[in-house]
Structure 1
Amino acid sequence: MSVAVRPERAGDEAAIAALITAAFATAPHRSGTEAAIVAELRRSGRLALSLVATAGAELVGHVAFSPVTISDGSAGWFGLGPLAVAPSWQLQGIGRALVAAGLERLRARQAAGCVVLGDPAYYRRFGFAPDP
């Protein structure tokens, strides 16, 4: 089945929360607050970009982008995360598709840049580099 990426729509919130919770359930780096972070970003109006991956009617992935302040005070930066893919859909390129689509949309908005806290080996393929 093919997977499509689209912006979050009204009514997706519960499915996104369930997906994020399932995706992070066994992750060694989980905090248990990943779904609550997205909900709070949405509630506060700081969820700048929220994309979902769907396979038919099933929501199988999600990525969030929100504005961030970086250390030099530059404006126009975004943070990527969390990125979540349903456990049964992992390792099929869905995370890659979500991140690529999100970065493309940020470029179209002329964002200054994007940062992420995550596995350098994974995110390097999108042009991210470690910066302590």
Structure 2
Amino acid sequence: MTVEKLIIRDETSEDISAITEVTIAAFATLEISRQTEHFIVNALRTRQVLALSLVAELNGRVVGHIAFSPVSISDGSENWYGLGPVSVLPEYQQQGIGKALIQAGLDRLRALNAKGCCLVGHPEYYKKVGFKNVSGFIFEGVPEAAFFALSFDGQYPQGCVTFHEAFQAIC
């Protein structure tokens, strides 16, 4: 894969079925997945709470997707977003596509004057793209080592985060 051929762009209505296929394939073999990620993306879209929904296109084919949606924080902090899910077709993983999607999404959030972004994810991966575990900023029921945040202004909330109810979607 050459980076020059990779295009990161907003999703269109024509991308929806490809996004579903990419998301299903990306999570199919992950033991930690309940295989509901594609339902979550569709629920976020249906409820019109996708702040950003970007696709990675390679040679005209959607090979990756990332979603961002607003989160609520118990300390009243505003303009924070949740990242996820992020999906890349298995045959294109470990080629920088996920990282490119994350960076493009974070850049767009900054342009929207967001304060920061948080997520539940793999500890080694998300530290590589600037996220960190923040003491006092938690997602109940998730180990601290798997909950990450990235502040755009250096200030981190202190409290519990709540992702949109669409994250409970199971079908």
- TM category, shorter: over 0.9
TM-score norm. by structure 2 comes to 0.75
Give the partner amino acid of 1:19: V
Match of 2:81 in 1: 78
Give the partner amino acid of 1:34: E
Match of 1:42 in 2: 45
The reply on whether 1:93 has 2:109 as its aligned counterpart is no
Q: CA deviation at 1:41?
A: 0.2
* Partner Cα separation in structure 1 for residue 128 and residue 104 of structure 2: 14
Moved over 2 A (4+): none
Match of 2:69 in 1: 66
* Partner Cα separation in structure 1 for residue 94 and residue 101 of structure 2: 13
Match of 2:154 in 1: none
- Count residues with an aligned counterpart: 132
* Partner Cα separation in structure 2 for residue 42 and residue 102 of structure 1: 16
Quote the sequence identity (%). 51
Q: CA deviation at 1:124?
A: 1.1
Q: Which runs of 5+ in 1 are unaligned?
A: none
Give the partner amino acid of 1:5: I
Which range moves more in the overlay, 82-91 or 70-79?
A: 70-79
TM-score norm. by structure 1 comes to 0.96
Give the partner amino acid of 1:87: P
* Partner Cα separation in structure 1 for residue 127 and residue 73 of structure 2: 19
CA contact (8 A) 1:24 1:84 kept: yes
Q: CA deviation at 1:32?
A: 1.1
CA contact (8 A) 1:120 1:128 kept: no
Match of 1:117 in 2: 120
Which range moves more in the overlay, 99-108 or 1-10?
A: 1-10
Q: CA deviation at 1:116?
A: 0.8
Indicate which of 19, 22, 31 corresponds to 1:19.
22
Q: Which runs of 5+ in 2 are unaligned?
A: 135-143, 145-171
Give the partner amino acid of 1:108: A
